[in-house]
Chain A
């Protein structure tokens, strides 16, 4: 479960992205690819040379077969065939070896470049300012790192070697035909205009059609997950027929678009057949005239016809792969769009010595005319634990995120240990103040690896101590393989409360002087919440802490309570003071503790 933070007034929902992340221009894609290939120039040169050699050697086959025809046509003895057959075997072996070597080299080049690109993508993606990611929605980033990476990877794995081989085969075969007699080449080129026109016709239609197909497939997947994942709710509200109908509609639309794609491809082949026939007829006719004119032998004409027949396969491969290549290019542009962002600078500024927090006149508006905070002042002494209380939409979450340095405020300043946040820089801010929200994410992999994200050099004993402190050591050690148990996506499933304790253990390991907790205990359900509150209290022990609380027990345990309303701090004091003051907090406490009478 990963609820978005409680910011009802923000326009930053993934459902309505108003500023998608950048997509790179063709020139930038080429430039970045060039940059990534440059260190592997020799590998690239070797791969293409060896593959070209392999294809070249393979071209000996057709004339050799033509030679056999000539031997028969000239009524030479049967034994004359044997050396040609030996040559054919040699060609086959050399071609096989060279192809294997060439493909290995080209794949290694492609895979290495892809790996460097995805590493750079992840690095830059993780250093994007959170405000920007949220404007675009994390969905966009996730789609790029899964969909686009696999699109490009598939192209590198499947299309690239095939494309290189087929293109080489086409070029060299046409060259070989020209060597037999240049007029054969002219005849073969009769097919070319048809093929070019067909390819352009196809790509024009295919791009939008496949884009639509992907959208429909994505919608269907979403519908399925929506209805199946919410099965309990569907059954509880008797919505079975409604939801089956929804999925059927969505699936019907996928069938529809799939068949449109199929028909497009079939029409495409239809046209390519025309090209094949035209070219083949022209080559046969040319052979006829050339043989009759005495320019070439029957064997040579046979070789030319066989060459052309052999061109069908690579031609079709190249034309079909054009489509993949185009999809991959679009994916690449989206990857480079992010990978091309400037690298994050490490300012290397030290964390301020004093763990005080001071906010002066903080204002914030997500939309220009809808201010959420109005000149909030806030002072936290070192080691003080302050609870932030108020109704939804009072601005608690926004204030918490501004104090944690996640959002720069539109007005006012926040200082940590006397240093303004923008002076401190993102790097040192992250080390000085941690933010734990109700959004829990368990990183896939061993539990220990998840924890070590917060402190890579932590020993096993450190991990155990951190878990113990937040009360999680018991269940962690009871996991099938203890701290080595694979958790998260595809692994052992942790409960919401366990995941939240894990988040608190990460906070303990990161060990920042200041901690901001935003409803870090909300998702547990009412029974688990108390245990989590104990964990949270232990995790912030010894730190300056700002705690957004919706359970007032957390407020009661804090050193001081701030009550927010309409983007302002309206009350401040200890729990006892405020409870007895008869103000807003007293009212809240009465509602909370149920000490009022039922209406």
Chain B
């Protein structure tokens, strides 16, 4: 992935990709803004030319003009905003897809150090924010156009009055902003504290079964009342700060209108401007606040989008966990796995071999050794020293995607995906899914009922067995299983051991486990201690001769 990818490039890419829609919406919504600006002008003209002079024909004329302006502003908004919103949504969609593609990329690295929830937030919220820049662009262009039009009209009415309004409105907004700044900061901090109550409630409900298990409901309710009370105090304070901010802005605006009325009124009374001009000026003074506020909003929108774009760029540009390789795997794959002097994580010069068709058990006294071994076998990382080979080809010289097509490392905490158990097992199956389900002891699971969110409709044991069935069904030349039966009862476990043995006949299989039932069906077992192979022999022999092994497996 592009290492030089920055937030700025992500941001501009989001706009550039949608430039047609953005251009159309900028033009059309500018038309809308001009129309909105013209409405008070037209009110002024109608008062001046028709009502003030009692001219019925003029009234009809100006009402007709008003109708045309409304038609234009209304459709300009509908079509323009529609195009702009479309640009925003599509840009967000593009980013979301690119993010997921990067996160799931076989080279890995994008998900390291990031929680799934945080990545999902980046793919939804941050992508949305960056996409919304398209909306900010058209709204900003339209606001600028409106300001220019209002400025032209005002300066034509009267230079001093025009200048007063044009300089006064930004000053007014700035003053409002300045006054509200400390309030805003406080309000933000307090709103965050307020959000805490809702998080605590969700957490307590999430642990409902656990609370009931130890009879802690009333303690939990008391705790929640206290936190909710604190949160209430914070929210009320935040709401008060916001209310005073609103009140201040209202008072400032009113004062400003009073000044415009004072100066405009004196100019009109002196005959320097017409009655209609006065009404227009007062109307525009009020109206200008709108586009100016939009500009301020565009500014914050861009600031937020920049931050979001930076987060997106960081994920998209995250370095790959393993470099790509260009060697070809040996064909046909025989499934000969050999580790020589592998130092990786906690492994210290590990030698390990699984010959084609062998079923090898690996017992790791330290779980960290098991994890490091699995990561190296799946080429999720390359060893610091030594080599992992498949049929004599170093894994580090192969593309990680190719490695995983030949060596399937089925993780212990395997995730089931949305769909039925059958969908899950079939997703990567080369064998009959039903046969795999039977071998994994999962024939009692309803294979056609949805597994629910994260597989939660199934029990822990059922989930584990369906995941095992999926790994068996893939029929990979080399299959590496990690603790596949921890949530399974002893009877079923023995059945599963036989199933694995039968289904993997002639294929290389490595089972990393301390379960005696599984180890009993292996051809031989390798005992890992201190990051290296301490002993290797059939299970029964190791039970007899190795104390460490007995403690690790049977104690």
Contacts and interface: CB of A to CB of B under 8 A. Distances in A.
Contact of B85 (A7, A262, A437, A523): A262
Interface stretch (A92-100, A315-323, A353-361, A366-374): A92-100
A4 interface: yes
Contact of A145 (B205, B229, B401): B205
A130 B209 contact: yes
The interface residues of chain B, by DSSP majority, are classed as helix
Contacts of A244: 97, 100-101, 104
Given A1-B413, A118-B228, A284-B51, A78 B266 contact: yes
A591 interface: yes
B209 A439 contact: yes
A139 interface: yes
A6 B491 contact: no
Contacts of A235: 104, 106, 108, 378, 380, 400, 404
A434 B228 CA distance: 28
B81 interface: yes
B270 interface: yes
14 contacts: A5-B459, A14-B453, A73-B52, A84-B262, A130-B212, A226-B418, A236-B378, A238-B401, A284-B59, A305-B43, A392-B461, A439-B210, A453-B216, A591-B491
A223 B428 CA distance: 18
A32 interface: no
A96 B199 contact: no
B205 A125 contact: yes
**Chain A interface size range:** 35 or more
B240 interface: yes
Contact of B520 (A97, A509, A594): A594
Of the candidates B81, B261, B401, B409, the one having the most CB atoms from chain A within 10 angstroms of its own CB is: B261
Interface string A502-524: 01001101101000000100111
Q: Which 9 A-B pairs have the closest CB atoms?
A: A92-B254, A96-B251, A100-B247, A430-B215, A15-B452, A230-B415, A3-B460, A88-B258, A594-B516
Nearest to A233: B415
Interface string A568-595: 0000000000000000000110011110
B521 interface: yes
Given A236-B378, A522-B460, 18 more contacts: A68-B268, A72-B268, A104-B240, A108-B239, A125-B205, A138-B206, A228-B119, A244-B104, A247-B97, A270-B78, A273-B70, A306-B282, A309-B39, A430-B215, A453-B219, A455-B219, A591-B494, A592-B493
Contacts of A594: 516-517, 519-520, 539-540, 543, 553
A529 B370 CA distance: 15
A348 interface: no
Interface string B192-219: 0000011111111111111111111101
Contact of B82 (A71, A98, A263): A263
A421 B292 CA distance: 70
Given A85-B262, A99-B246, A453 B223 contact: yes
A77 B258 contact: no
A88 B451 CA distance: 67
Nearest to B253: A92
Interface in A459-498: 488-490
A130 B211 CA distance: 11
Interface string B93-118: 10011001101111010010000110
Given A77-B269, A599-B521, A115 B228 contact: yes
Interface in B408-423: 408-418
A146 interface: yes
Contacts of B249: 96
Nearest to B370: A527
A229 B114 CA distance: 10
A294 to B, nearest CB: 10
Contact of B46 (A146, A240, A284): A284
B50 interface: yes
Contacts of A93: 251, 254-255
Interface stretch (B162-170, B337-345, B481-489): B481-489
Contacts of A526: 483, 486, 513-515
Contact of A119 (B228, B445, B483): B228
A157 interface: yes
Interface stretch (B10-18, B230-238, B304-312): B230-238
A194 interface: no
Interface in B272-312: 275, 278-279, 282-283
Contacts of B171: none
A233 B63 contact: no
B317 interface: no
Contacts of A529: 486
B114 to A, nearest CB: 9
A391 B519 CA distance: 20
A80 interface: yes
B367 A281 contact: no
Interface residues of B, number: 180
Nearest to A565: B491
A27 interface: no
A269 B210 contact: no
A434 B215 CA distance: 7
The interface residues of chain A, by DSSP majority, are classed as helix
Interface in A52-104: 58, 61, 64-65, 68-69, 71-73, 75-78, 80-82, 84-86, 88-89, 91-93, 95-104
Contacts of A161: 243
A246 to B, nearest CB: 8
A112 B194 CA distance: 12
Nearest to B416: A230
A443 B204 contact: yes
A524 B483 CA distance: 10
B73 interface: yes
Interface string B47-76: 100111010100100110011001001110
A266 B82 contact: yes
B222 interface: yes
Contact of B86 (A259, A392, A506): A259
A507 B515 contact: no
A122 B224 contact: yes
Interface string A248-274: 100110110011001100110110011
A431 B215 contact: yes
B92 interface: yes
B404 A238 contact: yes
Nearest to B102: A244
Contact of B104 (A89, A240, A510): A240
B53 to A, nearest CB: 10
Contact of B120 (A102, A145, A224, A252): A224
Contacts of A157: 235, 239
Given A229-B415, A301-B51, A89 B254 contact: yes
Interface string A264-290: 001101100110110011001101100
A328 interface: no
A226 B116 CA distance: 9
Nearest to A140: B205
A588 B490 CA distance: 6
B392 interface: no
Given A95-B251, A255-B89, A523-B460, A141 B205 contact: yes
Contact of A122 (B205, B248, B252): B205
Contact of B261 (A85, A528, A552): A85
A559 interface: no
Contact of B100 (A68, A228, A522, A596): A228
B20 interface: no
Contacts of B400: 235
Given A5-B459, A85-B259, A236-B378, A489 B410 contact: no
A159 to B, nearest CB: 13
B178 interface: no
B120 A392 contact: no
B52 A68 contact: no
Interface string A111-141: 1100100110111011100100100001101
